[in-house]
Chains A and B, each alone.
Chain A
Amino acid sequence: MAAASHGDEQAYAQLYDATSRNVFGIVLHVLRDHAQAEEVTQEVYVEAWRLAKRFDSTQGSVSAWLNTMAHRRAVDRVRSAERRTQREHRHFEFQADDVAADPAELVVATDEGRRVRRALAQLPEGQRTAVELAYFQGKTQREVAEHLQVPLGTVKTRIRDAMQRLRKQLGEAAS
């Protein structure tokens, strides 16, 4: 990234190769639409290139930076699409040809992915569901609360506990 921030396109290509399946994966998972996922992934990489000098390695890894950016954009897009359809009083449905296959079937199994999935699976169900609805489906904490029919405070607590537990487990496994 250091090289890329000084305009090294070759270095950026390598960065793309190393990180794009996570970026594309999370965007696709949130959007569940192949064409839009490609678009957003492209936006993320162009934006990250443009803002490369802002990347600060003391703030976390490049992949975390990219994944965070990608996740936000995907969530923003899902929400604005939902707002649009609500305005039009239409139920939001993806067109059949948008989803070539269930994204889950395309998932690349990596060691880290397996490790994180195991950690997720070990969470108490309430915590796991809260995180999944928020992170993977782009729901706000209020929507999660409505969906699960629990108070907002409970959702906040579950998300926090889930993240802290994941950190503990993933941290231990890494060391």
Chain B
Amino acid sequence: MTETHSNAYASVVGALTASEAQDFERHLIECSACAEEVMDARAIASALSTTVAVNPPARLRGSVLASIAHTPQEQIATVTALPRSETVAADRSSRRNRATSLLAAAAVVAAVGFGGWAVQLGQDASDSQQAADVALSQRAKLASLLTAADVQTAKLASLLTAADVQTVSGRFISSDDSGAVVMSEERQMAVLVATGLPKLPEGKVYEAWTVKGDPAPAGIFTSDDSDAVVELSDAAFDADSIAVTIEPAGGSPKPTGDAVFDVSLPPA
């Protein structure tokens, strides 16, 4: 790891071999110290290019513009801002932003994450280089949201980087609030991420259920911070859907309230 660690600056000036570069890119996802160093040092390396600036031939401009005119742009499954309730009090909105970014990041990861982080796709050098960009940018997104959400940070980070991570989003019934189920069989972890949850009256909790035939209890959570990240039981992997109801404190063995959230999971 120290060996890989020491490659941060070499990577920025392009002094790694293809295989060293791949190792380093994997390392970059997990090592925030290196990710920061690289980001910083890239700007410096980029500045070096100003010492050798040369005007390209004029014809190149036309040729580039002609090419892009018929080059489709890659569409990333961008997460559009979640609709917000007009009545949301102003002081809730910043928290909501944080949680929205959490959801967004989960979805961003899912968009690129099917079949693994792009890093793992890299076969030839330029693929892996691109993958490094993606990894770096996603790392930063994740890092920012994970520091914002004071939740089981490390576990969630590990979930989000799983090769088989999947995200299914849903909507809380009777409100604009959103939730998503993020799961990875490889990591044996499934979480429900919920944002902007209405505060519950004293003595009530939210209870998550894995539903396959009869609902089974999958975790209890409250709405103290309006956002919640709930680790679901392993039954989530076999479930047809994940639901949330409002239950008396302590939870119930069977749902007694109406579902406030319900999302169908894709068949395994």
Contacts and interface: CB of A to CB of B under 8 A. Distances in A.
Given A64-B43, A116-B47, A159-B15, A24 B60 contact: yes
Given A5-B73, A46-B64, A107 B53 contact: yes
A140 B13 CA distance: 9
A38 B56 contact: yes
Interface string A50-74: 1111101011110111011111110
Given A134-B10, A159-B10, A54 B76 contact: yes
A16 to B, nearest CB: 6
B40 to A, nearest CB: 7
Contact of B13 (A16, A106, A134, A142): A134
Nearest to B124: A76
A56 B140 contact: yes
Interface in A87-116: 103-104, 106-108, 110, 112-113, 116
A70 B15 CA distance: 15
Nearest to B21: A72
A108 B53 contact: yes
Interface in A122-175: 131, 134-136, 138-142, 144, 155-156, 159-160, 163, 166-167, 170
A131 B144 CA distance: 32
A52 B136 CA distance: 16
B191 to A, nearest CB: 25
A59 B7 CA distance: 19
Contacts of B50: 22, 25, 110, 112-113, 116
A120 B137 CA distance: 29
B87 interface: no
B52 A59 contact: no
Contact of A59 (B44, B73, B136): B136
Contacts of B125: 72, 76, 79
Secondary structure at the B interface, as helix, strand, loop or mixed, is helix
A17 B60 CA distance: 11
Contact of B126 (A9, A59, A76, A142): A76
Interface string B129-153: 1100110110011001000000000
A141 B16 contact: yes
A16 B65 contact: yes
A3 B75 CA distance: 14
Contact of A68 (B46, B56, B64, B140): B46
B94 interface: no
A161 to B, nearest CB: 9
B109 to A, nearest CB: 14
Secondary structure at the A interface, as helix, strand, loop or mixed, is helix
A61 B43 contact: yes
A84 interface: no
A47 to B, nearest CB: 8
B42 A64 contact: yes
A77 to B, nearest CB: 9
Contacts of B90: none
A54 B126 contact: no
B9 A160 contact: yes
A23 interface: yes
Interface of A: 5, 7, 9, 12-13, 16-17, 20-26, 28-29, 37-38, 41-42, 45-46, 49-54, 56, 58-61, 63-65, 67-73, 75-76, 79, 103-104, 106-108, 110, 112-113, 116-117, 120, 131, 134-136, 138-142, 144, 155-156, 159-160, 163, 166-167, 170
What 4 A-B pairs come out closest when comparing CB atoms?
Answer: A24-B56, A26-B49, A134-B15, A64-B46
30 contacts: A9-B65, A9-B69, A17-B61, A21-B53, A38-B56, A41-B56, A41-B60, A42-B60, A45-B67, A46-B64, A50-B72, A51-B74, A53-B74, A53-B75, A54-B76, A56-B141, A60-B42, A65-B133, A67-B46, A71-B49, A107-B52, A110-B50, A113-B52, A116-B47, A120-B51, A135-B15, A140-B20, A141-B10, A159-B9, A167-B40
Interface of B: 6-10, 12-17, 20, 39-57, 60-61, 63-65, 67-69, 71-76, 78, 125-126, 129-130, 133-134, 136-137, 140-141, 144
